[in-house]
Amino acid sequence: MIILYLNDIVPNNMPQNLSVSQAAHLVGITRGILQKQIKSGKLSTFEGKVAISELLHLYPETKIVDNTMIERVERIKAKAVRRRVAVERETLDTQILATAINNLKTELTSVKSEYSDLVQTITQKLDIIANTDDANLRYSLIALQEWVRQFSA
């Protein structure tokens, strides 16, 4: 018994007629034998095509399986897998971005702390120097202290 899938021979959107070559291939005989059956009247054609129903009547041992539903399910499954992969990529990208944001927040907090410590140290050193007896130097240092303090706020 020969089993062929219909979609291997005739696409879904085409009529259920086959060329003589396709029909011969389907039933497992040569094209010449099939043409002899057409000439003898055992099989008819229309515009050079053989109706699958007539072919099956002449060769009942041939089984044709219509696998359009199977193909449709496979397409749906493939589409679902592609969507799932896309969602997983999006989730992964979101997780990577969230991790990067958290790392940047930690780094920012650390830099702010270091910056604050630096401003405080500079202010303390300027306070020590500001106690000098030189009036011009003291005036310049006080102006510099005020300028540094504006960054500590």
The pLDDT tens digits of the residues spanning 41-80 come to 999 888 889 888 888 888 888 766 555 666 777 788 888 7
Residues 114 and 58 in one domain: no
As for how many domains the chain has, the answer is 2
Structure tokens at 31: 């094209």
Residue type (1 letter), 103 = N
Angle between helix 135-149 and 68-130 (nearest 10): 160
pLDDT, one tens digit per residue, over 102-149 is 988 998 888 888 888 887 887 787 777 777 777 778 788 788 878 877
pLDDT of residue 32: 93
Same domain, 77 and 144: yes
pLDDT for 13: 42
User: Are residues 80 and 127 both part of a single domain?
Assistant: yes
Mark whether 60 and 88 lie in a shared domain: no
Does the reported pTM lie above 0.85?
no
Same domain membership, residue 31 and residue 88: no
Pair (88, 124) in one structural domain: yes
End of a domain among 45, 66, 87?
66
Pair (78, 33) in one structural domain: no
Domain that holds residue 39: 2-66
Region 2-19 average pLDDT: 55
C-alpha to C-alpha distance for 6 and 115, rounded to whole angstroms: 76
